[in-house]
Structure 1
Amino acid sequence: MDHSLQLLFTLALAFVLALIFGCIAEKLKCPALVGFLCAGILCSSNTPGPTADMEIAMQLSEVGVILLMFGVGLHFSISDLLKVKGIAVPGAVLQMTIATLLGLLFAVYVWEWSLASGLIFGLCLSCASTVVLLKALEMHGHLNTVDGQISVGWLVVEDIATVLILVLLPPIAQIMGVAPGGSEAAEPMTASGIAYVIASTLLHVVAFVAIMMVVGRKFIPWVLWQIAKTGSRELFTLSILTASVGIAYGAAAVFDVSFALGAFFAGMVMRESKYAHRAASDSLPLQDAFSVLFFVGVGMMLDWRVIIEEPWSILTMLAIIMIGKSLTAFCLVHFLRYPLHTSLNVGAALAQIGEFSFILAAQGIALGMTDQKMLSMVVASAILSIALNPVMFAMIPYVRRFSVRYFAWARAAAMLTDPYSVLPKETSRRMLMGQTILVGTGSVTRAVAKRLSDDDVPFVCISEDKSFAEELRSQKHAVISGDAADPMVLVQGHIVTAAQLMVIDIDPVKTLKIVEMAKQLNPDLNIMARAGSHDEVEHLKSEGIAKVYLDSESVSEVLTGNILDYYKKDEEQGEQGAVQSQSAH
C-alpha cells in the first residue's frame, strides 16, 4: 500500500474491527474492551490478513492516553489529590516495591533468569494501566467517589515513580554490568552520580508542577475566556485539544515528564475555569475514540505463539498481577482503616498492567537487561489481566459478603463509613419533612440549592461527586455523597418523607433508574427531571415522568420556580382548608 495512506488505513482497519468485535463482546455480556483487544490481535503482523501500521497505532493510542488523563484532570482538583496523599503515596510506593520483589524473586530463583532480567520483569508487573483503571472506575461509577480518588491518586504517584525508574535504568544497567547486544558495559556510576540523576528527575517534575500551578492556573483559564467570547464552538474545541496535547508534549519534551502526567495536570489547571464542564463534554467523544485505539494497539503487540510456548509462565505472571498486586493494595488500604468496599475496589482496580509495563520492557531490551521473549510474555499477561479485570469488579459483592460472614475484621471494616455518605449530624428535623431531594452535580445544582436556601425551602442534595458534596456542605447545606439509584442512599436522604424529587444531572438512563427506585420508596413523590435534548424530553415523559425540562442557560431559574410553586400551592391549599373548616363551625 502507498505509504501516504498508512495512517488512513490503520485508522479504518482499527475502527472497523474494533466496532465488530466490540459489538460481539457486548452480545456475549463481556466488556467491549475485550473485543477491542481481539481486534488488535487480528490486525497485527502476527496473524494472517490485513496488517495495520504498529508505529502509527502506538502514536494514536498515546493520544488516547493524553485525552483520557486530561479528562480525569478536569474532574480532579488539587485538593482532591492532597486529600488522598496519605494513602496514595505510601500505598503506591509499597505496592510497587512488593510487586517488583515478587517478580524478581520468582524470576531469579524459580525460572533462573539473570538478576537484571528479573528486575525488569518485577518492575513491569508493578505498575497498573492508567487507561484500564479509568475505564474500570467509569464503568462502575466510582470515578468521582473516594475509592476513585484514591485509585487515581495512586496512579499519579505510580506514574511519577515510573518516570524516575526509566531515568535510572541506564545507570542501574551499568551497575549490574550489562550492555546492549552483549557488548562491554560502561563504567558503573558513582553514588554521587546516581544521586544527581534522582535529584535532577525530581527537580524536573517539581518544576513542571510548579509552573502549571502558578502560571497555568491563571493563563489557561484566561485564554479559554478570550476564545469563548468569540462564540465559536470550533475554536473552543480546538483550544481544548491544543491545551491537552500541547501541554502533554511540552511536559515530555522539556521536563522529561510522561505524556499522561502532563495531560493530567493540564486538566487540573483547566478545572479552575468556569468552562471546565464544557471542556469535558467537548473532549469526551475524542477520548472514547482514541482510547479504543489504545486497546487495539495493545492487542497488536501480542505474539500469540508465546501463549502456546510458555503457558505456565504466563499464568504465573497473571497470578502475581491479579492476586499478588491486588492483595497488596487491599491490605495497605485496609491497614489505613478505610472501609471494606474501598479496600476491595482499589485492589480490583490495580489488578492489571499496561502501557508503562511495555515501555519498561522495551527499555530493558534496549539496555541489554532482558530479551524480546520477556516483552512478549509481559504483553500476553497484560492482555489477559485487562480482559479479566472486569471479573475482579464483578466478584467484589460476593467477596464482601463472604468476608463479612466469616471474618470479624471484615465486619469491623464494613462498619466504617465515609462521613459524606450520611447526612450531617446537625441537619434539623425540619429539613427532613416534606423536603425536595436534588440529585445532581455542577452549576445548575449549585444555583438551585442556593435559591432554595435563600427562600428557606427544605431540601437535601445527593451528588456522586464527593468534592461537590464537600463544597455544598461547607455552605451548611444538607448533602449526601453517593449514587441516588442506590435505595440506601435515597433512604439516607429521607425519601419516604420527601415531597419532591428533582433529577438535575443529564443522563436519561440513570434518571430512569433513580426515578424507578424513588417511586418504590415513595409513590406519592412529585418528580421533575432535566434533559439534554428534545428527544430525551419525549423519552423521559413516555416513561412516566410528567415534568421534564430542556437544558438551557436559564434552566436553574425554571427548576427553582417550579419547586417554589409547588410549596406555594401546598400552602394555599392548606389555608383554603382552614377557612372551610372555620366556616363549617
Structure 2
Amino acid sequence: MEHGFLIQMLMMLVIAIAAIALFRRLGLPAILAYLVTGVVSGPSGFSWFSQAQMHSVAELGVVLLMFSLGLEFSLPRLWAMRRTVFGLGAAQVALTALVSALAAWYFQQDVTAAIVIGAAIALSSTAIVLKLLNEQNWLRRRHGELSVSVLLFQDLAVVPLLILLPLLASDGEALAYQDIALGLFKGIVVFVILMAAGKWALPRIFDEVARARSNELFVLSTLVVALVTGAFTQWMGMSMALGAFMAGMLLGESQYKRQLEADIKPFRDLLMGLFFISIGMLLDFQMVWDNWWQILLLLVAIVMGKGAVVYLLLRLGGEPIRIAATSAMTLAQVGEFSFVILALAVNYQLLDMSISTQLVMVAVLSMAIAPWLVRHSAELGGRLQSRLDNSPWQEPDIPEIKQKETVIILGYGRVGQTIARFLKVEAVPFVVLDLDPTRVAEAKNAGEPVYYGDAGKRSLLKQLGIRNSQTLVVTFCDSRSRENVVHLCRELAPELTILVRTRDDQSLQQLEQAGASQVIPESLEGSLMLVSQVLFQCGIPLNRILKRLESERRNHYPYLHGFFSGTESDFTLEQLHAVSLPDGAAAVGQQLCEIPWDKLKVDLKAIRRNGEEMAQWAGHWQLCSGDILLLQGKPRRVERAEQYLLQG
C-alpha cells in the first residue's frame, strides 16, 4: 500500500509540473494549476487522495504563507499610508463584506455562513495584484498606491478573521459578545507575549544562529520559529496561521528579513502548492456542472459588485473617473486568502460543502481573468473617462516630444544611464523607455525622465512623438527585440538617426539592414580604445590614429576579426588557423583560383613562403610544398578547408 501511495504522489507531482508549465505559457497564475491538479488527483478525478490526507501538510502551507506575509508587512509603511489604508481599505472591506453577507442572508444562508461568505468575498489577491502592478510599473501611480493601501488593510483584516472563525465554531447558535471579547483579549495577550519574544528573544536567537555560519541551521531555525509560534496560538485557542503571521511581522523589521524570506520561500511554495491542491480536491465537478449557470452569475455579480464598491468609494473620495475605474478593476477578483477562510470554515463546519465549492470555483475563475483585467485596467479606465468627458483618450504618463534636439534612449541599464548622465551635463534634453519596473521607479523618484514602456509597440512610439526627435539610441541587449525595434523606429521615422549598442558585431549587418544608422559593438570599441592609447604612446600622430579607427569602423572592423584559438579562448564566431602544406598535400601545385574558396566559406588572409609573408598574390599564384596559408572563418569551416587543402 505504501508503494502505491508513493506512485500516486509521484503522478500527482508530474501532473502539477505539467499544469504549471501550461498555465505559465497561457499567462495564468500557478495557483490555478495547483487547483486543477487537486481536481484531477482528488475524488472528482482519479481519487488518489482524500482531502483529509492532505489537510495536515496543507495547514503547514498556510502557516508558512502567513509567516511570509508577516515578513512583508511593514509597520512603518503601514503608518505612512495610514489614511488610505484605514480609510479606503477599511471602508472597502467593511462595505464589501456587509453587502455580500446581506446577499447571502437574503438567499437563505444563516448568519454565521453569511459572515464567512462576506469575509471571503471582501478579500482580493495580494500576490496576483502586486505582481501585475509591479510588472506594469504602476506601483507608484495613483491607482497603484490606492490598490496597495486596500490590499494592506485586507492583509491586516485576516488577523481578526483568524481569531473570529474558531469563536464562531464554538457557538453556532448566536454570536456571543462575551466570547468575542474574550477572544480579542486572548489575541491581545498573545500579541504582547510575542512582541516581547520578538523584541528580546528572537534577535538574540538569530544572532547566535548567524554566528554559526550554517545555512542549514538558519533554515531550520526559521521553520521552527514559524511552527512554534503557530503551535502557541493554537494552544491559546486560535489558529496556527495567526501566530505565524505575528512572528513574521516581528522578524520583518530585523536585519535578517531578506535571508529569512529566501530560506522560507522553497518550503512555502511547495507546501502552499499542496494547500491549493487540497482545495482543488474539495471541488465536486458534478456539482459544478449541475450549477454552472449559478457559478457564472455569481462570478459576474461578485466581480462587478466588488468593482462597484471600490469605484463608488473612490468617487466619493474625490478621485477622477479614470483612477476610480482602474482601481476597481484591479481589486475586483477574489484572493488566495479566501481559500484559507473557506477551508477553515468547512473544517469548523461553518459552511456547507456545496456553497464552499461554488465559491471556490468563483474565486478560481475570478483569479483566471484577473491578469487581463489588471493589464487592461488603465486603458479601459481612460476610455471610460474619455467617453464620459467626450474627450480623446491617451496614456497620460509619457509626454510627447516637442524639441527636435531631444534624444530618445531605449533601455536604462548601465549604458543607458551613462549616456543620460553625459547628456544632462551638456543640457541636451532626453527621454528614456525601459521595461524594468524597479529601475524605472527608482529613476522617477530621483526626477529622471524615465518611463515604463515597451519600445516594440507602435502606438507607444507614436505617442512619444518619435518623428519629432533627431536621435534615438538603443542600448538593450536582446538581439531579436533589438532588430524589430530598429526596423519599427526606421519605419516610423525615416530621417531619424538610430544608434545601436551591441556586445559584438555578430548582428551588425542585420541591424544595418533593419535601419540602424550606426552600430557600436561594445567589445570591439573597447579594443579600439586600447589600441589608440597604445599607438599614441608609441608616438603615432593623433590624426593618423583617428583615421585608422574611422577606417576600422567604416569597414566593419576587419582587424578585429579572426584570432588564434587556445585552450581557454572563446572565439566561437571566427578564428585564424595556419595550415602548412607538406609534400603530397592535395593543394600543392594548384593555383589559388582553382581552390573553391566560396564553397569552403573561409578567407585567405596571408601566405608565408620561406619564412616571409607575401605582400601580394593573385589568382594564378601556385602553391608549393612548405607554404603556410593563414585561414580565417568559423571553426568547422576552417577545419573542412584544412581537410580539403591537405586531402582534396
Tell me whether the two structures share a fold, i.e. TM-score over 0.5.
Answer: yes
Equivalent pair of 1:541/1:547 in contact (CA under 8 Å): no
CA shift, 1:462, in A, is: 3.9
CA shift, 1:324, in A, is: 0.8
Measured in 2, the distance between the counterparts of 1:376 and 1:102 equals: 21
Query: Alpha carbons of 1:143 and 1:198: their partners in 2 closer, same or farther (altered >3 Å)?
Result: same
- Equivalent residue number for residue 409 of structure 2: 437
Equivalences for 1:489-504 in 2 at 5 Å?
Answer: 495=466, 496-497=468-469, 499-504=471-476
In terms of mean alpha carbon deviation, does 164-173 or 321-330 score higher? 164-173
Q: Deviations over 1:324-349 (max 9, x none)?
A: 11222233344445565544443233
- Equivalent residue number for residue 91 of structure 2: 94
Measured in 1, the distance between the counterparts of 2:266 and 2:180 equals: 49
Equivalences for 1:473-552 in 2 at 5 Å?
Answer: 475=446, 477-480=448-451, 484-485=455-456, 495=466, 496-497=468-469, 499-504=471-476, 518-522=489-493, 524-528=496-500, 546-547=519-520
CA shift, 1:113, in A, is: 2.0
- Equivalent residue number for residue 116 of structure 1: 112
What amino acid is aligned across from residue 497 of structure 1 in structure 2? S
Equivalent pair of 1:436/1:501 in contact (CA under 8 Å): yes
User: 1:387 aligned to 2:387?
Assistant: no
In terms of mean alpha carbon deviation, does 392-401 or 260-269 score higher? 260-269
User: 1:378 aligned to 2:374?
Assistant: no
Equivalences for 1:445-460 in 2 at 5 Å?
Answer: 453=424, 459-460=430-431
Query: Alpha carbons of 1:347 and 1:15: their partners in 2 closer, same or farther (altered >3 Å)?
Result: farther
CA shift, 1:471, in A, is: 4.4
Measured in 2, the distance between the counterparts of 1:291 and 1:530 equals: 42
Measured in 2, the distance between the counterparts of 1:489 and 1:208 equals: 54
Task: Report the TM-score when normalising by structure 1.
Answer: 0.64
Structure 1's unaligned 5+ residue stretches are 179-184, 559-568, 577-585
Equivalent pair of 2:407/2:430 in contact (CA under 8 Å): yes
Measured in 2, the distance between the counterparts of 1:138 and 1:45 equals: 38
Pick aligned residue for 1:303 from 279, 284, 290? 284
Pick aligned residue for 2:150 from 136, 150, 154? 154
CA shift, 1:147, in A, is: 4.4
Equivalences for 1:293-332 in 2 at 5 Å?
Answer: 296-311=277-292, 313-332=294-313
Measured in 2, the distance between the counterparts of 1:220 and 1:411 equals: 59
Tell me which of the two structures has the higher relative contact order, counting C-alpha pairs closer than 8 angstroms and 6 or more residues apart. Answer: 1
Equivalent pair of 1:69/1:260 in contact (CA under 8 Å): yes
Query: Alpha carbons of 1:62 and 1:198: their partners in 2 closer, same or farther (altered >3 Å)?
Result: closer
Equivalent pair of 1:17/1:39 in contact (CA under 8 Å): yes
User: 1:47 aligned to 2:45?
Assistant: yes
Structure 2's unaligned 5+ residue stretches are 234-240, 531-542, 551-648
Equivalent pair of 2:434/2:450 in contact (CA under 8 Å): yes
Measured in 2, the distance between the counterparts of 1:459 and 1:220 equals: 48
- Equivalent residue number for residue 103 of structure 2: 106
Equivalent pair of 1:126/1:325 in contact (CA under 8 Å): yes
CA shift, 1:161, in A, is: 0.7
User: 1:196 aligned to 2:194?
Assistant: no
Equivalences for 1:225-236 in 2 at 5 Å?
Answer: none
Equivalent pair of 2:279/2:339 in contact (CA under 8 Å): no
Q: Deviations over 1:63-108 (max 9, x none)?
A: 995798699x5xx998876665543443332222122122221222
Measured in 1, the distance between the counterparts of 2:490 and 2:12 equals: 44
Q: Deviations over 1:389-439 (max 9, x none)?
A: 34534764784476245423x969x78956xx559xxx9x99x72536253
User: 1:353 aligned to 2:334?
Assistant: yes
In terms of mean alpha carbon deviation, does 479-488 or 316-325 score higher? 479-488
Equivalent pair of 1:33/1:292 in contact (CA under 8 Å): yes
Query: Alpha carbons of 1:220 and 1:517: their partners in 2 closer, same or farther (altered >3 Å)?
Result: farther
Equivalent pair of 1:65/1:131 in contact (CA under 8 Å): no
Equivalent pair of 1:36/1:296 in contact (CA under 8 Å): yes
Paired residue total: 513
**3-state SS, counterpart of residue 178 of structure 2:** coil
What amino acid is aligned across from residue 304 of structure 1 in structure 2? F
- Equivalent residue number for residue 384 of structure 2: 403
Equivalent pair of 1:422/1:480 in contact (CA under 8 Å): no
What amino acid is aligned across from residue 330 of structure 2 in structure 1? A
**3-state SS, counterpart of residue 473 of structure 2:** strand
User: 1:164 aligned to 2:135?
Assistant: no
CA shift, 1:167, in A, is: 1.0
Measured in 2, the distance between the counterparts of 1:453 and 1:219 equals: 50
Q: Cα RMSD between the aligned structures?
A: 5.8
Q: Deviations over 1:209-246 (max 9, x none)?
A: 9969xx98x9999999x99xx9xxxx88x899779867
Measured in 1, the distance between the counterparts of 2:380 and 2:510 equals: 39
CA shift, 1:59, in A, is: 5.8
- Equivalent residue number for residue 566 of structure 1: none
Query: Alpha carbons of 1:61 and 1:146: their partners in 2 closer, same or farther (altered >3 Å)?
Result: farther
Structure with greater helix share of residues: 1
- Give percent identity, aligned residues only: 20
Equivalent pair of 2:473/2:499 in contact (CA under 8 Å): yes
Equivalent pair of 1:361/1:375 in contact (CA under 8 Å): yes
Equivalent pair of 1:41/1:300 in contact (CA under 8 Å): yes
What amino acid is aligned across from residue 473 of structure 2 in structure 1? L
**3-state SS, counterpart of residue 113 of structure 1:** coil
What amino acid is aligned across from residue 281 of structure 2 in structure 1? M
What amino acid is aligned across from residue 163 of structure 1 in structure 2? V
Measured in 2, the distance between the counterparts of 1:68 and 1:492 equals: 41
Q: Deviations over 1:523-573 (max 9, x none)?
A: 544444578xx9xx96899676855669xxx9xx99xxxxxxxxxx9xx99
Task: Report the TM-score when normalising by structure 2.
Answer: 0.59
Q: Deviations over 1:460-512 (max 9, x none)?
A: 444566775564456554434555555676578665425342445x7677766
Query: Alpha carbons of 1:190 and 1:258: their partners in 2 closer, same or farther (altered >3 Å)?
Result: closer
Query: Alpha carbons of 1:286 and 1:385: their partners in 2 closer, same or farther (altered >3 Å)?
Result: same
Query: Alpha carbons of 1:345 and 1:105: their partners in 2 closer, same or farther (altered >3 Å)?
Result: same
